[in-house]
Amino acid sequence: MKAIMLGFGLSVFLASTVTHADSQEKKPNDWLLGAKSDTERFESLQTYLRGFDQPMWEVGERFRAIHEALGRSNFELAAYHWEKIRVTIKNGYLKRPARRANSDAILLNATWGDVNEAFGSKNAEQAWAGFEKAKTACMACHAAESVPFMNNQALFDLSKPD
């Protein structure tokens, strides 16, 4: 009997919390839940998810990580970041379709595969040659996309250590 009473009490409690959650008042931090419509929600998400700059930031960090990985002869790690760079650039042009043509033509269509093979060879000379090839493509796209000033930063000074 006690157990039944307890069970009953518990279900009343659960029911009241569910009802409370449904009619929950929106808090100031509910920037999505509190929006008036899905359109407003998507607008907020679209703004929050930025444009091409944030994916490029990630690409830059991963490119630096590739340099570090090659320095330790960790070719698998280099290939891992190279794969993520491809995903990240594609996600970038999902948001900014105007960047697609040069991304594909300059990096993804042919160069990406060559560099991937170079890392896959697990041969230091070939892998470093792949790194240089990748770097040249990154810089060519920055010139083609009218942001040549991007190339004047320490990231693009990285190369095979002496």
Q: Does 57 bind ligand HEC (CB under 6 A)?
A: yes
The first and second tokens of residue 78, run together, are: 């280099």
Q: Which residues contact 75 (CB under 8 A, 6 or more apart)?
A: 69, 119, 120, 121, 122, 127
Residue 62 CB, shortest distance to ligand HEC, in Å, is: 8
78 lines the binding site for ligand HEC (CB under 6 A): no
The reply to whether 131 sits near ligand HEC by the rule CB under 6 A is no
CA distance 12 to 63: 56
Q: How far is CA 19 from the centre of its chain?
A: 38
Residue type, 121: S
Indicate which single residue of 91, 102, 121, 151 sits in contact with ligand HEC (rule: CB under 6 A): 102
d(CA 146, CA 99): 11
Residue of the chain from 8, 16, 19, 51 that contacts ligand HEC (CB under 6 A): 51
Q: Does 103 engage in binding with ligand HEC (CB under 6 A)?
A: yes
Interacting residues toward ligand HEC by CB under 6 A: 51-53, 56-57, 59-60, 63, 85, 99, 102-103, 106-107, 134, 138, 141-142, 145, 147, 150, 155
